[in-house]
Amino acid sequence: MIPPVSSGAYPRRDGNLVRTMIGGAEAFARIAEAADTARERVWVTIAFYADDFRLPDGRGLFDLLEGAARRGVDVRAVFWLPTAESAGYGRTYPIDAPGRAGVKRRWDRAAGAYAHHQKSWVIDNAGFVGGINLTAIAMTRHDAYVEVNGPCASDVAHNFVQRWNGASEPHADDDLPLPAAVFAPCGPSQVQIQRMFGGDRSILEQYERAIDAAERTIYIENQAIPIPAIAARLEEALKRGVEVLLLVPAEPQGYVYRARQDPAQRGLFDALEALGRYSNFRLAGLPVYVHCKLMIVDDRWATVGSCNLHSNSLGGHSEMNVAIWDEAVVRELRDRLRAKHEGRMFTLSPSQYAVTR
């Protein structure tokens, strides 16, 4: 049994209805459907954004948001505002952008070189948590989202209110009250909303607990190779005979190649190569860029969200993941991923990973 985290802001809750979505087309078709029928609220936290982002039906982000606002829905967006140290990470929505009809906006800086990296939506009493950015290129990458209805969706809403009220930049006096009640149960799944945010480090703790409890299999999809502390736990699992598959970008971003050449980063790649010495470990890639951040243990527990396994996400970025204790949901996700990747996944060499382009 994978133990839940007890140190985070939110408990594991019963009574949730969970839906997993693979890829931008599936995820944003569902998000758009929910927003188009929303009656109370559409709230979104946004990290990276570009005007080239399009929903599957061709609309842009603000077409969707303004449409909800015209119906009288409370529409709010919190955008990450980079500092000088974090300005090179990617495109973001500028603080001097013209106003959008009915859409309330705030901007929030993170400390130093860190980012507000959460990608969450609250649409009426549903929460959506994942890793897909609002850019055209993000829609072409392999990624995932989770929809949660029930008590845990109120935790996604609570997080949004914290982000909204705590936004760092000057803003109008329209703070929100924290949710007064937990949303009603509506499904069979146990779920815990976990974060890297302020003093809440529950995503990292949950990764550690899940790896330590694994009995048969650990399946990871992540944009980053694991930091040495996580890799050491994976090695202990390998020693116990657990099968470990790590799916990463076959061609990672440039900073990974630069890190490979940096003596100060040697430990990161030494840890990966140590895993490669075990016959029950496989490093794999796809012909598309893997941007996903998920882990499945023993085909009965999963975590999906925005958190990479690199030092920024586990050190200072704000992140959000959904941890799921429901074997039926997890097996369906694993089966869908297996079917999607069948015949496309290929083995990579840990010792040669990111050595040369």
What is the C-alpha separation between 80 and 162, in angstroms, rounded? 14
What is the C-alpha separation between 189 and 328, in angstroms, rounded? 9
Domain assignment present for residue 155? The answer is: yes
Of the chain, the end-to-end C-alpha distance in Å amounts to 41
Structural domain for 231, as ranges: 200-347
Out of 160, 190, 220, a domain closes at 190
Same domain, 123 and 225: no
Domain assignment present for residue 120? The answer is: yes
Angle separating helix axes 61-70 and 24-36, nearest 10 degrees? 20
What is the structure's pLDDT at 188? 98
Domain assignment present for residue 355? The answer is: no
* Residue 187 in tokens: 């499904």
Domain assignment present for residue 3? The answer is: no
Domain assignment present for residue 29? The answer is: yes
What is the C-alpha separation between 36 and 34, in angstroms, rounded? 6
Domain assignment present for residue 313? The answer is: yes
Same domain, 185 and 266: no
Domain assignment present for residue 156? The answer is: yes
Q: Name the nearest CA neighbour of 291 among 222, 213, 188.
A: 222
What is the C-alpha separation between 281 and 244, in angstroms, rounded? 5
What is the structure's pLDDT at 172? 87
Tell me which H or E stretch contains 3. Answer: none
User: Running along the chain, 357 residues long, what does each successive block of 10 average in pLDDT?
Assistant: 94 98 98 98 98 98 98 98 94 96 97 96 98 98 98 98 96 92 97 97 98 98 97 98 98 95 96 98 98 98 98 96 98 98 98 93
- CATH number reported for the structural domain that contains residue 153 in this entry: 3.30.870.10
Same domain, 95 and 125: yes
